[in-house]
């Protein structure tokens, strides 16, 4: 036997399998999107126990001809860990039947849960996020440094697209996605409670509908929180004595406070724009002297310490931000360049909630 040829054939087969895995990764994402749109997780949750295929199809009002399709959809999603498969007793002594239950990831799709991330799935897999990739070759060969893939594909920036009156539903979808992510902030708040201790005032920059500020206010009722965002975002929102909404432009100035919170903000912007934001943050906390600080919640890319799967997720986030906003996820060295470039003297990084890091920046 020619072992060399045998080894080459084995390597070729493995390479083909690995390549096809990458090619068809999108099918898993689309299956997840379908499950979210059908409300499969909600149906199982409402059922209160694992549900059989026929019961699920009935609850979802699916045509009997689609039961086989539902089975194959669930087969993939179960294999991927999004749902769990078990057996339940048959009716009146019949054979056991296969039933489907929730797993920790699919529990995050249940709309009645406070930690529901279905809006994230809806937004991330929206056609506006996917269709642009058909223009990737055109984008990569264009001699326009600041042009995003989204702009190359559509002729307008993502922010322009969101703020058009004709796309009000899309803007609402984007805000709902950000609000859903903010609900997960409870975990970050629990892990990083210490960063808010001793503060009397805080500005939540690009704080949207104020989900994070409300959580901070619940934990620290004496902190006066200001949600600072674009006029079209906060115009219809009202607060109280310790939680108010202010319209403005973070590239121009930021209201003064003991601390400034930037959650999922700087990764939307390139280094030059991020420097402007950070310098305005430094000015905003100048009245507190050395006791002021900026609290950043972002991703820190660390290919040395993170495992392969976590690194891959962070690198995917980076490409999303590059293609949509010309933003970026940053490594430690890049964060240092931004922080010191904006005139700050020191910082402290604490990993939180798996993918995120809490970065305290001091004047």
pTM (two decimals): 0.86
Catalytic (active-site) positions? 267
Contact 299, 315 (CB under 8 A): no
Lowest mean pLDDT among 25-39, 141-155, 175-189: 175-189
Ramachandran sector of residue 154 (left: φ over 0; alpha: ψ -120 to 50; beta: rest) = alpha
Average pLDDT over residues 68-89: 96
Percent of residues, the chain, with pLDDT higher than 70? 97
> Per DSSP, what are the bridge partners of residue 87?
98
If pLDDT is split at 50, 70 and 90, which confidence band does 167 have?
low
Can you give the pLDDT at residue 262? Answer: 96
The SS3 assignment for 227 reads strand
Q: Return the closest-CA partner of residue 231 out of 252, 211, 212, 245.
A: 245
Ranking 34-43, 71-80, 153-162 by mean pLDDT, the lowest is 153-162
Containing 163, the helix (H) or strand (E) segment is helix 158-163
Q: Which of 281, 276, 283 is nearest to 261 (CA)?
A: 281
Give the whole-angstrom CA distance, residue 290 versus residue 285. 9
| Contact yes or no for 285/313 (Cβ under 8 A) | no
Rounded Cα distance, 204 and 263, in Å: 8
Residue 273 clears pLDDT 70, i.e. is over it: yes
Q: Where do the structural domains in the chain lie, given as residue ranges? A: 3-109, 120-173, 184-362
Domain 3-109 has CATH 2.10.60.10: no
pLDDT interval class at 166 (50, 70, 90): low
Taking only the tens place, the pLDDT of each residue in 284-311 is 999 888 889 999 999 999 999 999 999 9
Residue 1: its pLDDT value, please? 45
In this structure, of 140-154, 236-250, 271-285, the range with the lowest mean pLDDT score is 236-250
Rounded to the nearest integer, the mean pLDDT of the chain is 90
Helix/strand/coil for 201: strand
Give the C-alpha separation, 183 to 262, whole Å: 16
CB 338 within 8 A of CB 277: no
Which one, of 326, 329, 327, 250, lies nearest residue 294 by Cα? 250
Lowest mean pLDDT among 174-188, 195-209, 265-279: 174-188
**Architecture of domain 184-362 in this structure:** 3-Layer(aba) Sandwich (3.40)
How far, in Å, CA of 232 to CA of 159, rounded?
12
pLDDT higher than threshold 70 for residue 2? no
CB 83 within 8 A of CB 105: no
């Amino acid at each position: 036997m020619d072992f060399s040829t045998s080894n080459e054939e084995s390597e070729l087969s493995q390479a083909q399998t690995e390549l096809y895995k990458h090619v068809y990764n999108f099918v898993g994402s689309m299956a997840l999107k379908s499950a979210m749109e059908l409300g499969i997780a909600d149906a199982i949750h409402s059922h209160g126990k694992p549900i059989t295929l026929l019961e699920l199809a009935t609850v979802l009002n699916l045509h009997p001809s689609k039961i086989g399709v539902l089975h194959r959809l669930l087969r993939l999603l179960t294999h991927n860990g999004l749902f769990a498969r078990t057996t339940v007793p048959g009716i009146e002594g019949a054979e056991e039947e296969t039933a489907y239950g929730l797993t920790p990831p699919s529990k995050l799709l249940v709309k009645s849960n406070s930690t529901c991330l279905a809006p994230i799935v809806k937004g991330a897999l929206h056609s506006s996020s996917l269709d642009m990739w058909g223009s990737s070759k055109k984008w990569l060969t264009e001699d326009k440094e600041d042009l995003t893939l989204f702009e190359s594909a559509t002729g307008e920036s993502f922010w322009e697209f969101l703020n058009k009156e004709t796309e009000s539903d899309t803007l609402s979808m984007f805000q709902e996605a950000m609000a859903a992510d903010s609900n997960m902030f409870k975990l970050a708040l629990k892990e990083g409670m210490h960063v808010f201790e001793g503060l009397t005032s805080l500005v939540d920059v690009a704080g949207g509908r104020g989900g994070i500020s409300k959580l901070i206010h619940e934990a620290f009722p004496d902190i006066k929180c200001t949600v600072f965002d674009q006029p079209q975002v906060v115009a219809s929102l009202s607060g109280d004595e310790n939680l108010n909404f202010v319209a403005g432009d973070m590239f121009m100035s930021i209201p003064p406070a003991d601390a400034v919170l930037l959650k999922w903000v700087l990764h939307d912007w390139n280094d030059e724009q991020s420097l402007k934001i950070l310098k305005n943050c430094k000015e905003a906390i100048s009245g507190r002297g050395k006791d002021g600080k900026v609290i950043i919640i972002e991703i820190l890319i660390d290919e040395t310490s993170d495992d392969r799967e976590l690194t891959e997720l962070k690198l995917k986030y980076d490409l999303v931000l590059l293609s949509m906003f010309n933003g970026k996820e940053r490594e430690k060295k890049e964060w240092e360049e931004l922080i010191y470039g904006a005139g700050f003297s020191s910082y402290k990084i604490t990993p939180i909630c798996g993918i995120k890091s809490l970065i305290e920046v001091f004047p």
